[in-house]
């Protein structure tokens, strides 16, 4: 029997800790929304076995985009990046699962689509680094910060009934 502790986000199997759950922040950027890739991208995370905990379509202003990308403020492409992110609505999501931060980055592919393997989202759907369709947190710590920034209202507490078919 699997028991999910929503306070610690851990799965317990027969009283023993089975696997640690993680959450990551995933954003479909304005080009992804404009190019009708929303369903395809959500589908890839769903089919993998990850669980959706938050989802919204939002337009952000430059102050918000600058906050999200604060670590990159010294980069020469920073202003262009902010312009890109505010150029249309984005789909902000929180996905949950075992190792979802690292595996989410693998599903997304390398930052520059020229280097992203076929089969990854950027490898399949993007050409230019400045139009690379999707964002995913690069560490558990940045996921925590990004989820707090994008979902101050919190995420949804629920447990997929597929869990015993995805986790041993």
By CB under 6 A, is residue 130 in contact with ligand ADP? yes
122 is in an annotated binding site: yes
Closest distance to ligand ADP from the beta carbon of 52 (Å): 21
Residue 35: CB atoms within 10 Å = 15
By CB under 6 A, is residue 24 in contact with ligand ADP? no
**C-beta of 11 vs 68, nearer to ligand ADP:** 68
Enumerate the β-bridge partners of residue 52.
Answer: 95
Site for ligand ADP in 78-107 (CB under 6 A): 81
Residues 86, 31 contacting (CB under 8 angstroms): no
Separation between Cα atoms, residue 64 and residue 166, nearest integer Å: 36
Active-site residue identified among 135, 136, 150, 151: 135
By CB under 6 A, is residue 158 in contact with ligand ADP? no
By CB under 6 A, is residue 111 in contact with ligand ADP? yes
Q: Where are the alpha helices (DSSP H) in 16-128?
A: 30-34, 38-48, 62-68, 78-85, 100-108, 121-125
Name the residue with the smallest CB distance to ligand ADP.
111
Closest distance to ligand ADP from the beta carbon of 17 (Å): 30
The verdict on whether 68 is a catalytic residue reads no
99 Cβ contact list (under 8 Å, min separation 6): 22
Closest distance to ligand ADP from the beta carbon of 112 (Å): 7
Of 96, 88, 110, 20, nearest to 55 by C-alpha is 96
By CB under 6 A, is residue 68 in contact with ligand ADP? no
Residues 137, 25 contacting (CB under 8 angstroms): yes
Chain positions contacting ligand ADP, by CB under 6 A: 72, 77, 81, 111, 129-130, 132, 135, 138
Annotated binding site for ATP: 29, 77, 105, 111, 122, 132
Active site residues: 135
């Amino acid at each position: 029997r699997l028991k999910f502790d929503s306070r610690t986000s851990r799965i317990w199997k027969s009283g023993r800790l089975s696997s640690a759950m993680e959450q990551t922040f995933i954003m479909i950027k304005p080009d992804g929304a404009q190019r009708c890739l929303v369903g395809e991208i959500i589908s890839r995370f769903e089919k993998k076995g990850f669980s959706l905990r938050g989802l919204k379509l939002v337009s952000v202003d430059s102050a918000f985009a600058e906050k999200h990308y604060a670590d990159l403020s010294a980069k020469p492409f920073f202003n262009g990046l902010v312009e890109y992110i505010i150029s249309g609505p984005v789909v902000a999501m929180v996905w949950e699962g075992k190792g979802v931060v690292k595996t989410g980055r693998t599903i997304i592919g390398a930052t520059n689509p020229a280097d992203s393997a076929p089969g990854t989202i950027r490898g399949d759907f993007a050409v230019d680094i400045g139009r690379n369709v999707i964002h995913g947190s690069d560490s558990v710590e940045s996921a925590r910060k990004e989820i707090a920034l994008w979902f101050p209202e919190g995420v949804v507490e629920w447990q997929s009934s597929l869990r015993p078919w995805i986790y041993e």
